[in-house]
Structure 1
C-alpha cells in the first residue's frame, strides 16, 4: 500500500490533490447552502409538533434561530482545528467529521419537529464547522515555495467551487421544498455531502499529509509569537465580524423582504428562498473580473494590500444595506418594488464579499505559522460566528411580547447600515497599523520521490 506523502512537492505546477479538494468543496457547499437556503421558510411554514400539527416560528424567532445556528457552524471550527493541528491531522479530521455532517442532514430529513431541527442542526454545526478550517488549510498545505505563486489562483478556484455548489443548491432545494416537502429537500443535500466525502477520500494518495504537531502545536500557540499573532488577527476579525453580521442576512431578513416584493422575472415567479442564488452566481462572474480586471487596474494606481481590499469591501457593504433599507421604506409605504432592486443589492454585496471574504481567507492562511494553519483558519471563521451572534442577539432583543418588533420595517435595515459604516471608518485605523508576515510550508524536491 502506498505511503502518504508528508510535504508538498517542489514543483512549479498546480499540486495533484487540488482537483479532489475543489470538487469535494463544490459538493459539500451544495449540501450546506442547500440546507441553509430553506431553513427560514421551513421554520416559519413547515415546522410541526410531535403529533404532526403545524408549529411554526414567528419571523423574528426564525431569524434569531437561523443566525444562532450559523454562529454555531463558525464556532465549531475551533474544535476541528484542535483535532487537526494537534491530534489527528487535517485529512483524518475531515473524513471523520464529514460522516457526522452526513448524519445531520438525514436527521433533518426524517424529523420535522423542533427536536429534529435541533438535533440535525447540532450534528451539521459539528460536522460542517469542524471541517471548515481543515479543508482550506489542507489545500494551502499542498503548496511549497516553488509553486507559492499559484496559491491565490487555487483559493480563487476554491471559492469558485463554493459558489458553484451554492448556486445550484439555492435554486434546487427551495424548489424541492415547495414541490416535494422537507423530507426530500433535506435528503438531497445529505446525498451530496456523502458524495463530497467519497471524492475527498479518493484523493488521499495525491495529498501532502502534514503531520499533526501534538505538543508542538500547543507550544506554538502559547509562544510569544503565537499569542502576538492571535492578538493582532483577533483585532482584524473583530471588525470583519460586522461584515458577516450583514452578509448572512441574505438568508434571513432579505428572504423575508423578498416575500413582500414583485418576484416575477421573465414571466416566472421566483421563490423567496431562490433569490439567494444570485449571490453565488455573481461570485462566479465577479471573481475572474476582480482577479484579472479590477485588481490589476487598481494596482497601477495604488498598492493593493489585503487589508486595503477588506477595508474597501466594508464600505461597499454599507451601500448594499442602504439600498435594502430604501427598498424596505418603499414596502412600508404599501408599495411592491420589483425584485430587480434586490438583485442590484446582491450585486453590490457580492462585490464586497469578493473584497472581504476571499481576501481574508488567503490572508489568514499566509499569516499563520505552519504549525497553526487550521487553528488560525478557525479564528477567522469565529468572525463569522461573532457576526451572526450579534445579529441573532439583535433579533431576539427586538421582539416585543405582543409579537411586534422594536425595529420595525426599514428601521431594522438602517440600524445595520449605520453600524457597518461606523465599523468601516474605524477599520481604516487598523489598516495603517498592521504589518504582514507570510508563512508557507517547506517542500520536498521531486527527485526525492
Structure 2
C-alpha cells in the first residue's frame, strides 16, 4: 500500500469528538466548583457553627478530604470497569452520580449535610471516571489510524487545561456576583451537558469488553501466587509481613471507632482510613517483594519482572506525595492568603475588568501549563542537552519537587510581609504560582511518561491507580499537619519561633519538599530503568 493511500485511510474516528467534548465540559465543571470551594465555605453558613478563627482550618480540612476522595475512587471505577461493566457503562453511570453531586451543591448551599453529600457524590463520580476516559479514547484507535492517537492525546491534555483556565477565571466572579447557587449550578449544568455529549456517541464507540479478572498474569494474581507459595525450609516471611500490615490497618480503624486515650482526637475517619491504606500498601509491597521469585515458573517471566517494576515505581510515587501536598494547597492555603492581599486595581497593567478575586489567581496554573510544556520541549530540554546535562525523567521529577519547595519559600516570604501589617499586592502571588506550575510540569507530565515505560501493557492500569493515590496521600499530609497545629504543644512551639502559624507552615512545607527532593534524588541514582515501549515489530 502506498504512503498516500495509508494517509488517506488514516482518519480521525468520528466518535472521538464526543469524548473530547465530554472531557472539556467535565473539566470545566470540576475545576469550576473545586476552585471556589474554600472561598465559599469560609464565609458560608456551612461552617457558621465554628468560631470565625477556626473556619479557615475547617475549610481546608473539608477541601483536602474531598481531594482525597477524588483520587481514591479511581480504584473503584477502574475495578468496576475492568471486572464487570466496561468503560462506557462505568463512565456513563458515574457521570450521573457526578451530576447528582453538583445538584446537591447548588440546592443545599445552606444545609451542611446536603452540601457534604454533594461533595461525596462529586468525589465518587469524578474519581470513578478519572482512570477511564483517557484509556477509552485510546480504545477508539486501531492499526489504521494509530498515528493520529498522539495528536488526540495532546489535544486531550490541552482541553483539560483550557477548561480549567476558564473555570478558574470565571466561577469566582459568578460566586461574587450571583451567589453560590448560580456559581455551583453552572458547573452542574456543564457536567450534565458533558454526560449528554458522551451519551450521544453511544452507537459509534468501540467498546472493549471487560477482562472480568481473567488475566492469569495480572498484578493481583502474580502477587497472590508469590505470597502463598511455600519454599522448603524458608517459611513465608513475605506473607507474615502482609499480615502484620493488615493487623496494623485493622488496629488503626479500631482506634478510630473506640477512640482510646492515646489516639489523637483529630484523627477522623478520612485520616485513619488513609493511614490504614498506606499500611496495607507499604507492608504488602514489602511482603510481595520478599517472595516474588516464588511466582517464577507459575507466571511468565515478563509478568514477574513487571510486578517488580511496579513495586519500584510505587516507591517513586510515594516520594512525590510531598509535592502533591504543596500543589493542592494552591486551592486552599494560597486562596486564603490571597484574600488578605490587595488587588492592584490602581495599576495600569492589572486586568481589573476580569481579575477581581484572589481565587482567580488559580487560572494562572492551567495558562502557564499550556505555555511551559512547549517551552520545555522546544527550548529548555534541547538547551540542557547541548550543555551536557541529560534531563532524564527521574531528574526532572526530582527538580520539580524542589521547585515546589522554592514556590513555598516565596509564598512564606509574602506571608511575612502580610504579617508585618503593610498592604501586599496580590500580584506578588504570580511568582509562587509560576514556580509551582513549573514544578508541576516537571513532576506530573513526566511521571506519566516514566510510569508508562516501566511496566508491561497489562500492568499499566495498576501503575495509574497508584499514581492517583499519590495525590490522595499528598492531601493526607496536609490533614495531618492541620491536625498537629491544633495541639497545644505545637502551637506553643510555633509561637516561640516568632512566626505566625501561616508563615511557619509555609516554610515547613517548603522544607518538607526539599527533604523529599533529596531523598528522591538518592533513590533515583540506584533505580534500574526499564523500557517497556512497544517495539517496531509489535507496533506493525
Bin of the TM-score, shorter chain as denominator length: 0.7 to 0.9
Assess, with a 3 A threshold, how the Cα gap between structure 1 residues 357 and 152 changes in structure 2: closer, same or farther: farther
Return closer, same or farther for 1:13/1:428 CA change in 2, 3 Å cut-off: farther
Tell me, yes or no, if structure 1 residue 104 matches structure 2 residue 198. Answer: no
**CA shift digits 1:370-407 (9 cap, x unpaired):** 344444322111100110111122112212579x7957
Unaligned runs of 5+ in 2: 1-6, 223-303, 495-499
1:86 and 1:218 in contact (8 A); partners too: no
Aligned length: 436
Deviations 1:5-46 (A, max 9, x none): xxxx99866665544333322211111111111111111112
Given candidates 251, 266, 288, the residue that maps to 2:331 is 251
Decide which of 444, 447, 450 is 1:360's aligned counterpart: 447
Cα gap change, 1:189/1:252 in structure 2, threshold over 3 Å: closer, same or farther? Answer: same
Match of 2:174 in 1: 176
State the match for 1:427 in structure 2: 520
Bigger CA drift: 226-235 or 32-41?
226-235
Task: Go from structure 1 to structure 2 and tell me whether the alpha carbon gap of 1:214 and 1:343 turns closer, same or farther (over 3 Å shift).
Answer: same
Structure 1 residue corresponding to 2:507, chosen from 391, 399, 414: 414
Aligned equivalent of 1:77: 74
1:241 corresponds to = 321
Equivalent residues of 2:168, 2:360 under 8 A apart: yes
Assess, with a 3 A threshold, how the Cα gap between structure 1 residues 140 and 59 changes in structure 2: closer, same or farther: same
Tell whether 2:90 aligns with 1:93: yes
Alpha-carbon deviations, 1:77-125, whole Å to 9, x = none?
1001111222222222111111111110001111122201210011011
User: Rg larger in 1 or in 2?
Assistant: 2
Aligned counterparts of 2:17 and 2:484: Cα–Cα separation in 1: 45
Measured after TM superposition, the shift of residue 70 of structure 1 is 0.4
Counterpart-to-counterpart distance in 2, 1:81 and 1:292: 35
User: Who is 2:24 aligned against?
Assistant: 26
Q: Distance in 2 between matches of 1:179 and 1:444?
A: 56
Could you tell me how far 1:54 is from its partner in structure 2? 9.7
Residue 294 of structure 1 pairs with residue 292 of structure 2:
no
Mapped partners of 2:102, 2:74: distance in 1: 18
Q: Give the counterpart of 1:274 among 360, 369, 372.
A: 360
List gaps (5 residues or longer) in structure 1: 1-8
Farther-moved stretch of structure 1 (109-118 vs 203-212):
203-212
Question: CA-to-partner distance for each residue in 1:310-352, whole Å, 9 max, x for gaps?
Answer: 1221122122111111111111111222122111211111111
1:246 is displaced (CA, Å) by 0.3
Q: Is the 8 A contact 1:283 1:350 kept in 2?
A: yes
Choose between structure 1 and 2 for higher RCO, CA contacts under 8 A separated by at least 6 residues. 1
RMSD: 3.2
5 Å-filtered alignment, 1:119-158, equals 119-142=117-140, 153-158=151-156
Match of 1:4 in 2: none
Residue 6 of structure 1 corresponds to: none
Residues of 2 paired with 1:156 and 1:345: CA distance?
26
Q: 2:415 aligns with which of 297, 318, 328?
A: 328
SS of equivalent residue, structure 2 residue 421: coil
Which stretch shows the higher mean deviation, 150-159 or 208-217? 150-159
User: 1:87 and 1:306, CA in 2 relative to 1: closer, same or farther beyond 3 A?
Assistant: farther
Counterpart CA distance in 1 for 2:537 and 2:125 is 30
Match of 1:44 among 17, 42, 45: 42
Rate the CA distance shift 1:392–1:218 in 2: closer, same or farther, 3 A. farther
Cα distance, 1:250 vs. partner? 0.6
